[in-house]
Amino acid sequence: MKPPKRLEPLIEDGLIDDVIRQLMSGKEATVYVVRCGEETRCAKVYKEANKRSFRQSVDYTEGRKVKNSREARAMGKGSKYGRKAQEEAWQSAEVDALYRLAGAGVRVPKPYNFYEGVLLMELVTDVHGNAAPRLNDVDFTPEDARAHHQTLIKEVVRMLCAGVVHGDLSEFNILLGSEGPVIIDLPQAVDAAGNNHASSMLERDVGNLSAFFGRFAPELLTTQYGKEIWALYAHGDLNLEVELTGRFRESTKPVDLRSVMRVIDDTRAEEAARQRRIAEGAEK
């Protein structure tokens, strides 16, 4: 096929030899099957912000680092430069997450290069060597549904141990590769420790998995892996060897309001003292 304009720089620089076909077009990008030497890979071409239907919610971007204070100010003002910087940061988030998760052994496509707004990565294939289908295009037996659900729960744990929450995980962004499920589409991935919405996002991700596989194995609908996983993470007890039960009991212990108020009062007193020291130093 005729190479899309966005892929021409990669062809000119020898990163791509040929564009075979368009694989899919989604809310944030168009993906092409390309030939790189003897290998077949895929090229994810991000759509411009005004042509995408996916909006960059502040829930996702909270806690993300930017290159410098100038970019941060520009993003806050919404200037042309700020929008461009925000778009680049959004794309880079997926690249960073892919490299981070691939290094941690998570089932994600292997990234090869990010160049001119195009992400070159592994083409995930099925047992016949064809492009792997998304989970929502496949029917499962109860046994297969349980097995794939357990595999993905372990991948969620592996991701969280690497400090990442997918943030938009569902049957629409998981491929069924020749060796099992592969997680894709990570531009909205969040840092588990730096985002206040990480716990609710993780619970939603896990809930989506239970809801999908619960169509084939109904007992999965009553599991509470999301709450269980986050509780272990919050207490520093989450690891790759942890035995999950899918059950979670909410704490019924009453909150000690007096202790909470003492902590708040002590914090306020410490801050007031710090401000006094700063003021006294300025007067000298």
Residues annotated catalytic, as ranges: 168, 185
DSSP the chain: -PPPGGGHHHHHTTS-SEEEEEEEE-SSEEEEEEEETTEEEEEEEEPPGGG-S----HHHHTT---S-HHHHHHHHHT-HHHHHHHHHHHHHHHHHHHHHHHHTT-S-PPEEEEETTEEEEE--B-TTSSBPPBGGG----HHHHHHHHHHHHHHHHHHHHTTEE-SS-SGGGEEEETTEEEE---TT-EETTT-TTHHHHHHHHHHHHHHHHTTTSGGGGG--HHHHHHHHHHTT---TT----S------PPP-HHHHHHHHHHHHHHHHHHHHHHHHHHH-
pLDDT digits (tens, 9 = 90+) for 63-80: 545 455 554 444 455 555
Identify the residue with better confidence: 173 or 83: 173
**CATH label, 19-234, candidates 3.30.830.10, 3.40.50.970, 1.10.510.10, 1.10.10.10:** 1.10.510.10
Instruction: Tell me the average pLDDT across 53-65.
Output: 51
Identify the residue with better confidence: 152 or 259: 152
pLDDT tops 90 at residue 253: no
